[in-house]
Structure 1
Amino acid sequence: MNSTKPTKTPKPSFSGYEVFVIAILAFLQFTVILDFMVMSPLGAMLMPKLKISTHQFGNVVSGYAFSAFVSGILAAGFADKFDRKRLLIFFYIGFLMGTALCAMATDYHFLLIARIVTGLFGGVIGSVSMAIVTDLFRLEVRGRVMGFIQMAFAASQVLGLPIGLFLANHYGWHSPFWLIAIVGVIPGIIIALKMKPVADHLKIRTDHNPIVHMGNTISNRNYLLAFLTTTLLATGGYMLMPFGSAFSVNNLGITNEQLPVLYGISGIFTFVFGPLAGFLGDKLGKYSVFIGGTVLTMAMVAVYTNLGITPLGWVIVINVLMFAGIMARMSTSSALISAIPQAKDRGAFMSVNASVQQLAGGAAAMLAGMVINQGADGKIHHYSTLGIIVMSSMTVVMIMMYFINKQVVHKLAKKPTVAEKAEELAEAFVIE
């Protein structure tokens, strides 16, 4: 089995400005991820408050994902034509406006439209952020960078979800969205004032016509496997997570007051797992760590989706182990896939990659809403069926990531042509 394990080199250090970029992108990702994740614990409140079914709630989650897919595809042709900092600010402003609309929603249709607006802007932010990371950091340290940025996932649990649930329990389900919209202004202002332009990719010749550039990126045979792999990678989170709180409350016997404890403690451990997974991926090989994380996640999914009434302590242990596997998968797969595109296609590749992820996620959430149902007793039925689907997709992804890893190894070992050396030189203009 090939591995992307690097040769022995002195441990690289990050400059002060690089640390700032990692921190501010993580802060920004915190607000975006929290906006998505808060829908899961709020589901137990939203469905009875707005009188919506599990199927309609799946549509709300899918609305964000499908609109994010559309905007990502449309943005792909232009993603390499502008300073990435400006793109990031533009889409982030739109995301905050969409989140504010969610806070104002009064019924199912208003909330659905608000989630669609949020997705149109929020779905592109992740791809622009990843393009910035790939522009500024070498593959040898990218696992660590991805791991730190993925800490936003943990922060959204440790800080965001408990606070959001506390506000929702005391001031209504609208309040967490107001929290995100208000706090989200902070990273936006900091990026606008302090981040340097990220525009060295503009020095590399690309297709002049945005539509041609997008088409060439989508049809590039070297990229298709990555897009397909990302499609399946999205299945797990979008299938299980939107209904996680409803399952915990109605099937496992966890109360709404205990949900912040569950998410908070799981998130504290995830703070450690994110950087650790990235470090191990850089040290031991990203694919090897991805396999270990996938096996652990599959085992915990098999246990979790078949639980009945369970003490809070055991639910916390299972969630902690499951998130450990998820973080290992997220940081290593992101680092590997980020190594696939050429510098001139990076923005477009990341936009398309994020778009197919959102499309797959939207389809998965919609399918999940059709597979499960809520009985008269309030219990969620057929959740274990979702677990089987998720584990099956993870098995296929392990095989696909093997070939992604081989592609990266081949790319790193390949002797560069004169044109590729010129591209590498242009790519080497990283932060000083």
Structure 2
Amino acid sequence: MVNTTHSPSPKEERIFLLTLAGIQFTHILDFMIMMPLGPQLIRVLHIDTHQFGLLLSSYTFTAAASGLLAATYVDRFDRRKLILTLYVLFIVATLCCGLAPDFVFLLIARALAGAFGGILGAMVQTVVADVVPFERRGQAMGTIMSAFALSTVAGVPLGLFLASHIETLGWRAPFFFIVLLSCGFLAVGYRYLPSLTGHLRRSDAGNVFRQIYAVVREPNHMNAYFFMSLLMLGGFTVIPYVALYYTANVGMTESFITVIYLCGGAATFFTSRLIGRMADRYGKLRTYRVVALASLLPLLVTTHLVPVPWWAVLINSTIFFILVPGRMVPGMAMITAAAAPQVRGTFMSIASSVQMMASGLASLGAGLIITRNAAGQIEHYNLVGYLAFGCTLAGIWVAQHLKVAPSATPVTRPA
């Protein structure tokens, strides 16, 4: 294999982004698909709600821990080899989920899937930043972020459909489906992902932990981590409890929640790329500021909603899903540009851990604020809305202090 400097053509870049979006889609779907399987898992594995919560949280916690661990090695390997190796390990862990005979085995398998999936998320964003110039990175991140929207659309209904219609497999069916889908994307990735080794040209002198410390303590990187935390706190304080609030306080049925996620996810699938194009045309910071300010209204409406007609709920929830996750498109484009290519893998691995920990703390913090009254309704959700409102405003202020690091890691391909 001979490496030569190569600027990808528009067609190559499009295939490259779609391949990464596919990888992103499968590992996010692997997380999303657990949520609708709760009733089956509780019944079949004879577990309680607390144990099911452990199955969900194990993915997030190990993803955060693996991101910190990955910071010790991600910038020491060819990006292509590393992302394909991690993807293989993720596929094996997901296969183990489908083969799990009991709760303990499934818990370990879910933790491993989270460990490899968490690093994959960081690596996908790192590779995009390495290949796509900053002036086009908003649209590229929009393409990658559309995988989150597609996971939202497909995760809940697909998990229920497969688990209920393939009786011989039951709750295992979704995991086997993800494995088959992932194998397809693995083959495409092996064929089309370029070798990326430009970041290896830096000097590796010194202790690896001192190098990580140097990456963390750099002021612009710290601003980026703070910005990432505020992004998560501004959304994940509210998002995990939307369905519960809609059913308990607004009077929506559980079946209508599926419609809400379908409409919101479908709309986001298209608007995330539109927001990305706007970020490239009008500037990442300017676009982020506009989308973030616009998201404040559906944030407050969602957390103060009273019983209203179903169509009013659907309009607000769709706007909510467009704007609140939509802030991530220009936001992530700015975050990926905060580090130089030589340390971007380390930087993004730590950023991934910060993202996972912040989202977990956001959900935990909101859970401590809200309560349920004797009638089963949610109380103090409005306070969660005010918290998200304040974090969003703070994020706009911090974003203005982010600086773009020197870019242009050469893309090399096999001759």
Residues 319 and 270 of structure 1, relative CA distance in 2, 3 Å threshold? same
Q: Gapped runs of 5+ residues in structure 1? A: 1-11, 413-423
63, 76, 87: which one aligns with 1:68? 63
Q: Determine the structure 2 residue equivalent to 1:154.
A: 149
Q: Does 1:27 align with 2:22?
A: yes
User: How big is the alpha-carbon RMSD for the aligned residues of Structure 1 and Structure 2?
Assistant: 3.1
Tell me the distance in 2 between the aligned counterparts of 1:105 and 1:297. Answer: 41
AA in 2 matched with 1:191? G
AA in 2 matched with 1:88? I
The alpha carbon displacement at 1:402 in A equals 1.3
Q: Does 1:371 align with 2:353?
A: no
Q: Determine the structure 2 residue equivalent to 1:199.
A: 197
SS in 1 for 2:49: coil
Q: Determine the structure 1 residue equivalent to 2:120.
A: 125
Q: Gapped runs of 5+ residues in structure 2? A: 1-6
Residues 185 and 316 of structure 1, relative CA distance in 2, 3 Å threshold? farther
Residues 200 and 428 of structure 1, relative CA distance in 2, 3 Å threshold? closer
Deviations 1:333-354 (A, max 9, x none): 1111111111211111111111
Q: Determine the structure 2 residue equivalent to 1:213.
A: 211
Number of residues paired by the alignment? 403
Alignment of 1:20-419 (within 5 A): 20-40=15-35, 50-52=47-49, 60-103=55-98, 112-168=107-163, 175-207=173-205, 209-373=207-371, 378-404=376-402, 407-408=403-404
Tell me the distance in 2 between the aligned counterparts of 1:366 and 1:105. Answer: 28
Alignment identity in percent?
Answer: 33
The alpha carbon displacement at 1:51 in A equals 3.0
Residues 246 and 108 of structure 1, relative CA distance in 2, 3 Å threshold? farther
Residues 93 and 235 of structure 1, relative CA distance in 2, 3 Å threshold? farther
Residues 254 and 239 of structure 1, relative CA distance in 2, 3 Å threshold? same
Q: Using the TM superposition, name which of 35-44 and 351-360 deviates more.
A: 35-44
Residues 179 and 248 of structure 1, relative CA distance in 2, 3 Å threshold? farther
Tell me the distance in 2 between the aligned counterparts of 1:378 and 1:158. Answer: 28
Tell me the distance in 2 between the aligned counterparts of 1:246 and 1:389. Answer: 18
Q: Determine the structure 1 residue equivalent to 2:3.
A: none
The alpha carbon displacement at 1:21 in A equals 0.7
AA in 2 matched with 1:22? L
Q: Is the 8 A contact 1:57 1:369 kept in 2?
A: no
Residues 250 and 430 of structure 1, relative CA distance in 2, 3 Å threshold? farther
AA in 2 matched with 1:21? F
Tell me the distance in 2 between the aligned counterparts of 1:46 and 1:253. Answer: 27
AA in 2 matched with 1:240? V
Residues 372 and 46 of structure 1, relative CA distance in 2, 3 Å threshold? farther
The alpha carbon displacement at 1:31 in A equals 1.4
Per the normalisation by structure 2, the TM-score is 0.85
Per the normalisation by structure 1, the TM-score is 0.82
Deviations 1:86-141 (A, max 9, x none): 21122223333443455566887666544432221111111111111111111010
Tell me the distance in 1 between the aligned counterparts of 2:176 and 2:264. Answer: 24
Q: Is the 8 A contact 1:40 1:241 kept in 2?
A: no
